[in-house]
Amino acid sequence: MNKQSSDFSELDDLYQEIILDHYRSPRNQKKLDTVDIAAEGFNPFCGDKVLLSIKLEDNVVEQVSFEGNGCSISQASASMLTNLIKGETLDKARSLYSSFRELMHGTPKETLDDLGEAEALEGVRQFPIRIKCALLAWVALEDGIKKYTNVT
């Protein structure tokens, strides 16, 4: 069994498919010309790296892209994140971050924002060491927004 399939052997098949689809064809990889928020995340446990770039227009995420490498969960999660925050306000982006973090901690979905495909990562919480992978891009996003809003 290769490493990739062992990451997922316990996850629901449909969820696996969504995650692998994002991993193999990550969304929003086009480099931006102007970057208002750049946020980097690094997870030494499996060497995951994510760099998020956001272009804002009136505090709305007008464009977003990411680059990175690492395990399938970290990269799929980053790809899903970019899809979710595009067109949203920074406040909404932070709220999505909180909801995703809560999802990883087992809070019932009904009380959370709609996380779309990112809900496919719910099963990751059965593997505590992989939660860091799933949260990597999200934590970078939260840090980046915090820094940005503190200086403006």
- Measured from the CB atom, the residue of 39 and 76 that comes closer to Zn ion is 76
d(CA 17, CA 52): 24
C-alpha 151/C-alpha 12 separation (Å) is: 43
- Choose which of 71, 81, 134, 145 interacts with Zn ion (CB under 5 A): 71
Q: Which residues contact 33 (CB under 8 A, 6 or more apart)?
A: 55
Phi, psi dihedrals of residue 34, rounded to the nearest 5°: -120, 135
> For Zn ion, how many residues bind (rule: CB under 5 A)?
5
* SS3 state of residue 113: coil
Give the separation between CA 78 and CA 86, rounded to whole angstroms: 12
Name the residue nearer to Zn ion (CB basis): 63 or 74.
Answer: 74
**For Zn ion, what does the binding mask look like between residues 30 and 69, x meaning CB under 5 A?**
----------------x-x---------------------
Find the binding residues for Zn ion in span 107-136 (CB under 5 A).
Answer: 133
Quick check: 143 and 39 in contact, CB under 8 A? yes
Closest separation in Å from C-beta 89 to Zn ion: 29
Asked if 7 is part of the footprint of Zn ion (rule: CB under 5 A), the reply reads no
Cβ 46 to Zn ion shortest distance, Å = 4
Of residues 50 and 71, the one with the C-beta less far from Zn ion: 71
Contacts with Zn ion, residue ranges (CB under 5 A): 46, 48, 71, 74, 133
